[in-house]
Amino acid sequence: MDVMGDKATLWETGRFAQPVDRDETGAAAEEERHRIAADAGDAEAMSVLGALLLRRGDLDAAEPRLRAATAAGDRAAANNLGVLLHQRGYGDEAAGWWRIAAVAGSAAAAHALGRHHRERGDEPAAEYWLRQSAEQGHALGAYALADLLEHRVDPGAAQWMRAAAERGHREAAYRLARTLDKNALLDELGDPLGDDADALPGPGTRRPAPAAPPDTRGSARTGARRTGGQGGTTPPPADDAADEAELWYRQAAARGHRRAALHLGAILEKRGDLKEAGRWYLTSAKDGEARAACALGFLLRDADDIESAAVWWLRAAQDGDGNAANALGALHAERGEPQTAERWYRAAMDAGDVNGSYNLGLLCAQQDRTPQAEQWYRRAAYAGHREAANALAVLLLQGGDAAGAEPWFSKAAEAGSVDAAFNLGILCQGRGDDEGALRWYGRAAAAGHTEAALQVGIAELRDGDERTAERYLRCAAGGGSAEAAYRLAAVLDARRPRTNAHELGEPATERTECEEWYERAAQLGHRRAQVRVGMFASARGDVVEAAGWYRKAAEAGSRNGAFNLGLLLAREGSEPEAALWWSRAARAGHGRAALRLALLHARRGELSEGQRWADLAVSLGPEEVAGRAARLRDALREELSA
């Protein structure tokens, strides 16, 4: 029960101004003046003096003054006498005085009486008196009525919650903001918050360490200034529920509501206004909100102030924030302090954060403590942690237990783990279940898994659905897959009008999309793409660029790259170096390179060496090359035997 209800209505007769800050001497002098007037029989002075004594906690001195003022008909005194008796534990007698004051028109007394009845389970009486208080403009009455109606799921609750917020009630402003915020999220995402009224949306909710948090930059500054007074101001019209929610969060936070400051900080951080977000996080954290301290730590970490971040994480972790404990664990793990990291991960787990178990599993796995890793992964997986379920399945699969791994992959995939869906695709493909593999690859690809999109694209190409394959290959290539970029380029290349066979030094041709994809794959290290880009460059007459790409491919082990580089060098007059690259290509199984070497040695008169390379070309093929090499070999044999 709030002492004397609302401070603004303590002096509800309107004859006394709300007190301002005074030094102790001034307050004592004011109290003495009221005491003299009260001793002289002034009922108003008795009421004010009783209120002052009640506020100070001197109930014995306050009671006779309030009783005397109440007997003289002062309704504020009757209300405050009820507060005093309630504090002494005389609830029924307190209700009697509140009733007297409420009937006389005291909104504060009606509010107190309504709360009294609600505490005793008499909701009809509670609603009657709370409505009386709310309709008189009493902020606490409006809030209490809204709370009662909300408990009944009465649509009228929203009206009174808004009325209380507009009259300056900070908790009403916060709850109104939460409702608007939740409605905005429901419209956009479904219901990510469930029934947790204090769940923190947006970037304030960090992914568990050691996974990286959202990319943010900035630092926190001093706490935000708070505004005083009880009179509320209605926020300006908002474009939508999310904007209006922010305005109410701001109003509640400005009045010292620490959770409102936390949510406001999260909204500002998501928007990228990191300095102001840091100020509100700091305000909330200083008021004891562990989640704000944790979020502030992440902001500081993203600003490269690791030491300050650790201070706030420590504060939050000591107050029971599991996410902060995980962050500390990750920090110590990065510093090579596994024992300290493990201690904080255990603290996170003890705080009810399932990520603590998962991170303990990761830590043990990094230390090759496989049995312990399995234990912690399993614990987190049973608690519903999807990535722990996937990690457990991988661990089991690595141990040869494919039958035990598959159910965990399935659980993780059904819970939304993209990696688990991809892993299931691999598992199905490994046992010949192409249909099942394609289904799981498709699910992972739809969630943006690059490698899964590549596998779907390959499968669709194999089935002849080039258009669908192209769509998936584009997704995978856009995600950075070199193989997908190469295959997409090959699909586009096959659609181009056929021209004369490629010859070194051909006139330049127009640059096409397929060449751009080949080049992207080549830049990612794809050897066949590097050869193709070299061929395009050669066709444009850019010998230097072509040689560069051929050399990259050859040095990475591409026999075609080595062969083409040899052709280019021979064309430019560097036949000895060309022979070196043809030799490398031939030893890697390139029949044409072996034939080139046979011809080269034959021209030089090195018949035995030429015959040896011709024999290799015959064995390597292809058929056309094998035929030419056989004729050359026979000719060289005749020459040697002559």
Instruction: Give the number of other Cβ atoms within 10 Å of residue 229's Cβ.
Output: 11
Q: What is the pLDDT of residues 179-207, one digit of tens each?
A: 998 887 766 654 433 434 444 433 333 33
Exposed / middle / buried, residue 41 (Cβ in 10 Å: 0-12, 13-18, 19+)? exposed
What is the CATH T-level fold of the domain 26-187, as seen in this structure? Answer: 1.25.40
Q: Which of 331, 303, 305, 304 is nearest to 317 (CA)?
A: 331
Shortest CA distance to 261 belongs to which of 276, 242, 244?
A: 276
DSSP letter, residue 14: S
Residue of 561, 556, 535, 555 lying closest to 546 (CA atoms): 535
CB 434 within 8 A of CB 459: yes
Which of these CATH numbers, 3.40.50.300, 1.25.40.10, 3.90.550.10, 3.30.950.10, describes 526-641? Answer: 1.25.40.10
The region that residue 320 occupies, defined by phi over 0 for left and psi between -120 and 50 for alpha, beta otherwise, is left
Report pLDDT for 242: 87
Local structure of residue 19 (DSSP, 8 states) = P
Residue 540: predicted pLDDT: 87
Crossing angle between the packed helical segments 157-166 and 241-254, to the nearest 10 degrees: 50
Cβ atoms of 130 and 111 within 8 Å: the answer is yes
Question: Do 120 and 109 touch, CB atoms closer than 8 A?
Answer: no
What is d(CA 231, CA 139) in angstroms, rounded to the nearest whole number? 9
Q: Is 160 within 8 Å of 217 (Cβ atoms)?
A: no
Query: Cα angle vertex 432, ends 426, 435, to 5°?
Result: 75
Instruction: Report CA-CA distances (Å) from 128 to 48, 115, 145, 149, 161.
Output: 29, 11, 9, 12, 17
Output the six-digit token pair for 556.
């990475």
- For residue 9, the model assigns a pLDDT of 38
As a three-state string, the secondary structure of 443-463 is: HHHHCCCHHHHHHHHHHHHHC
- Nearest CA to 68 out of 90, 45, 91, 96 is that of 45
Say which amino acid occupies 613.
W
Q: Helix, strand or coil for residue 571?
A: helix
- At 393, which amino acid appears? A
pLDDT given at position 187: 65
What is the spatial distance between Cα 107 and Cα 98, in angstroms, rounded to a whole number? Answer: 10
Closest of 581, 616, 617, 576 to residue 600, by C-alpha: 576
Contact status, residue 343 vs residue 365, Cβ threshold 8 Å? no
What is the b/e burial string over 375-405, where b = at least 16 CB atoms within 10 angstroms of the residue's CB?
Answer: bbbbbbbeeebbbbbbbbbbbbbeeeeeeeb
CA distances from 519 to 212, 474, 496 (A): 31, 14, 17
**pLDDT for 169:** 95
What value does the CA radius of gyration of the chain take, rounded to a whole number of Å? 40
The Cα–Cα gap between 65 and 49 comes to 7
Considering the chain, tell me which residue range(s) the CATH 1.25.40.10 domain(s) occupy.
26-187, 526-641
- All residue ranges of the chain with pLDDT < 50 are 1-22, 190-234, 236-238, 501-506, 508
Please, what sign has the CA dihedral across residues 388, 389, 392, 393?
negative
* Gap between the Cα atoms of 111 and 129, Å rounded: 6
Q: Is the peptide bond before 407 cis (omega within 30 degrees of 0)?
A: no
**Residue 185: predicted pLDDT:** 73
Q: What is the pLDDT at residue 388?
A: 96
Contacts of 553 (CB under 8 A, 6+ apart): 527, 528, 530, 531, 534, 560, 561, 562
Measured N-to-C along each axis, helices 402-414 and 370-382 cross at an angle, to the nearest 10 degrees, of 40
